[in-house]
Amino acid sequence: MYNSKIAGLGYYVPENVVTNHDLSKVMDTSDEWIQERTGIKERRHVIKGTDTTTSMGVKAAKIAIERAGIDKNDIDFIIFATLSPDYYFPGPGVLVQRDLEIDTVGALDVRNQCSGFVYAISVADQYVKSGMYQNVLVVGSELHSHGLDMTTRGRGVSVIFGDGAGAAVISREEDSTKGILSTHLHSEGQHAEELSLIAPGMGKRWVLDILKDNDPEDESYFPYMNGQFVFKNAVVRFSEVIMEGLQKNKLAPTDIDILIPHQANLRISQFVQKKFGLSDDQVYNNIMSYGNTTAASIPIALTEAWEEGKVKEGDLVVLAAFGSGFTWGSAIIRW
């Protein structure tokens, strides 16, 4: 049995900055409302015809691979987490394999929304620990802006989400005291529709009927979120799954050097920070600048924290996520 570690990190966000003020020009909202409820000041939106979910993921992946100090052909397997794939099928994993021009390694797509990156590194961790693979590329990327309802009707959801990508190379680590110590994953499908995008699923309608209806008023093509219900569940599940991870490793909240929570909402992060008695330096947040980038939020935040010197060798790093499904998870890492 080997150990696994995060050997390289990278992120990419599109250049186009969309402020709360910009949004208030197209829908009935305000900078004050958005900042007070979510902490978000601005986010990035891809300009149509430039980036895709895959192209952003590829840009982040190239940086992560270079920082891992390996050649792209040393990648043994690709895992891609997203809720906004380029195509209905195939998923973006194979597109990364093609666009990076690497060998015909396996490519797996993860559909776990905001928990996608934690689920993906958990899968990568098992492959590396078992000895099956030495280097697994994990990408989280989202292009939300092309699928949001940018009118007052959609304001409860559309102001929160942003575009971007993050990537990590998970590699074999010989030192058994270092690396990914454990991961913890959960789901509760009972609440599947509370945060969801129902169409164009095959669940209830024939595709020919969908095309025939061609109804611009059909809200099932836009994401739906029961905001307060999601908030209440998030604060409970974040806390539970962080505690579960710490206990599994016989650690306490006081052992945490840095917590990188999924950037769902600054108020959720602050609730968790208070619950665990962590200082501002012990919780990394960048939702103010990027909004909620779903599967990309943890790798973007982790990369930024690492670049700023806030993730150091020997640190206990905790990743935690909650989102649509509901799904939630944590990863406990000795850097």
Q: Which residues form the interface with ligand COA (CB under 6 A)?
A: 29, 33-34, 37-38, 114, 155-156, 159, 225, 227-228, 230-231, 234, 264-265, 268, 292, 322-323
Among residues 20, 45, 112, 114, which one is catalytic? 114
Cα–chain-centroid distance for residue 46?
17
Among residues 45, 144, 184, 262, which one is catalytic? 262
Half-sphere exposure of 327 (CA within 13 A, CB side): 19
Q: Residue 165 corresponds to which tokens in the numbers above? A: 């990508």
CB of 116 to ligand COA, least distance (A): 11
C-beta closer to ligand COA: residue 61 or 266: 266
Nearest residue to ligand COA, by Cβ distance, number only: 227
CB of 326 to ligand COA, least distance (A): 9
Tell me how far CA of residue 242 lies from CA of 4, 182, 248, in angstroms: 20, 11, 10
CB of 231 to ligand COA, least distance (A): 4
C-alpha to C-alpha distance for 280 and 208, rounded to whole angstroms:
53
C-alpha to C-alpha distance for 178 and 172, rounded to whole angstroms:
11
Contact call for residues 324 and 114 (beta carbons, < 8 A): yes
C-beta closer to ligand COA: residue 228 or 254: 228
C-beta closer to ligand COA: residue 28 or 103: 28
Q: Decide if 191 is catalytic.
A: no
C-beta closer to ligand COA: residue 38 or 134: 38
Q: Decide if 292 is catalytic.
A: yes
C-alpha to C-alpha distance for 6 and 18, rounded to whole angstroms:
31
C-beta closer to ligand COA: residue 140 or 323: 323
CB of 227 to ligand COA, least distance (A): 3
CB of 253 to ligand COA, least distance (A): 22
Write out the catalytic residue numbers.
114, 262, 292
